[in-house]
Amino acid sequence: MIKLSQIPTAPPDDISKKAARAETRAFAKRLGELHYTLLAQKKYAVLVILQGMDASGKDGAVKNVFRYCTHNNFRTYSFKKPTEEEFAHDFLWRVHKQCPAKGELVVFNRSHYEDVLIQRVHKWIDEERVQKRMKAINAFEELLQFDNNTILFKFFLHISKEQQEIELLQRKNEPDKFWKHNDNDWREREYWDEYMRCYEDVLNQSVVPWQIVPTDKRWYRDYLISKTMVETLEKLDLQFPPLETA
């Protein structure tokens, strides 16, 4: 049983920041190579889900981990408040069409889990709907895996409440971060304990497991995500297809 309060948000004491950063650069370059092979082979799709509280570093992870990925089959998508058209469909309708095709790598900056997190925290849906949606999410992710060869990476960016305050204050005090400031982030912070409860429920109910990434130190976040992805993708039979002749 996952209990977030018992999981550190900082890196282990025995890991070197300098060494981790060097390894991260190597992992990021290797990820770019594997991604290029993924594009050529078109056997697998790769979906990366980044979830976490406001200021947990989702944008930074995308920038640093995927910097060497080729652009023609790499994209990110961030789920905002549903449009009128999206509200008129089931909650997974808008998600399915953003999922990767074979040969593509897609990062969800927030995801379908918003529909069992923010909506649950604010009591916009009842507990019966929450549980039915979780069952639908598990079935949906299994469908992606078994019907489309989708490799799923699910990273929960685990930030402490203290570090979140530091990050949010920087958005108010540092000119190059003003554009990130949103008063609503402070209002959502008031629901911290309820968010942690709902996140724990999601982490424990998910069939496809999550990796919990301590993210108080951004360099460790990048190291852990890039390392996990490279080690997993290297276990696949990724290879360039043979020459086709007439």
DSSP annotation of 55 reads T
Confidence (pLDDT) at 159: 98
Confidence (pLDDT) at 167: 94
In a domain, 17, yes or no: no
pTM of this structure: 0.95
Confidence (pLDDT) at 57: 95
In a domain, 47, yes or no: yes
Minimal CA–CA distance to 158: which of 203, 128, 120? 203
Q: Which domain holds residue 87?
A: 34-233
Confidence (pLDDT) at 126: 96
In a domain, 151, yes or no: yes
In a domain, 189, yes or no: yes
In a domain, 50, yes or no: yes
Confidence (pLDDT) at 171: 94
Sign of the torsion angle spanned by Cα atoms 178, 24, 214, 130: positive
Confidence (pLDDT) at 81: 87
In a domain, 7, yes or no: no
Cα 172 to Cα 135: distance, rounded to the nearest angstrom: 40
Sign of the torsion angle spanned by Cα atoms 234, 19, 61, 166: positive
Amino acid residing at 137: I
Q: How many domains does the chain have?
A: 1
Residue 143: give its domain's CATH number.
3.40.50.300
In a domain, 113, yes or no: yes
In tens digits, the chain (246 residues) has pLDDT values of: 999 999 999 999 999 999 999 999 999 999 999 999 999 999 999 999 999 999 999 999 999 999 999 888 999 999 988 899 999 999 999 999 999 999 999 999 999 999 999 999 999 999 999 999 999 999 999 999 999 999 999 999 999 999 999 999 999 998 888 898 988 899 999 999 999 999 999 999 999 999 999 999 999 999 999 999 999 999 999 999 998 887
In a domain, 101, yes or no: yes
Confidence (pLDDT) at 244: 83
